[in-house]
Amino acid sequence: MNQLRIGTLAGLFAAAFGLCWAGAGLWDSMGNTLPAVPLLAPVVLALIAAVLLGTALSLRARLRAQRERRPDARPVDRMSAARAVVFGQASALVSALVAGAYGGFGLFLLLERMEVPNRRDQALYAGLAVAAGIAVVAAALYLERVCRLPEGDEDNPTGPMGSRA
């Protein structure tokens, strides 16, 4: 499984940012009403970040207990850890796109439509969505780091993730 690259995530963010900023400008210049930023956008992204962080902290504690050979240590299933990492990677990629889109739309609102009171709120929601998207990316990178195998341990069936089932 390939590791996430920050450059890839930043590129996705920048591409979505530029496309949405330009798209919002084009849409507005044609006399159309801009869509609203949903209030739940930052909430959903923050919940995903919380789930990823909770999973990472749980796996880290279980792996630490297993390394220290505590008698109450529950082994970590390799497939469960791999699924968590895949979920984290997918969440990070989508969140980079979504955060970039909300960032571009929010910047357009800040530069062009700040005189409309409703659009100030929309710009705030967009900014919160960007912050929550960045939190998802950070939590996903942390989860990936927690679940990384030590160097040369891919062939060891009884490594830190426990025995193969």
Q: What's 116's DSSP letter?
A: S
Question: What are the distances in angstroms from CA 54 to CA 60, 88, 159?
Answer: 10, 12, 23
Inform me whether the pLDDT recorded for 51 exceeds 70.
yes
Could you give the CA distance from residue 8 to residue 66 in angstroms, rounded to a whole number? 33
Inform me whether the pLDDT recorded for 156 exceeds 70.
no
Q: Could you read off the pLDDT of 86-145 as tens digits, one per residue? A: 999 999 999 999 999 999 999 999 988 777 778 888 999 999 999 999 999 999 999 999
Highest mean pLDDT among 40-49, 65-74, 75-84: 40-49
Average predicted confidence (pLDDT) for the chain = 87
Class of residue 120 by CB neighbours under 10 A (exposed 0-12, middle 13-18, buried 19+): middle
Percent above pLDDT 90 for the chain: 56
pLDDT of residue 1: 67
Inform me whether the pLDDT recorded for 161 exceeds 60.
no
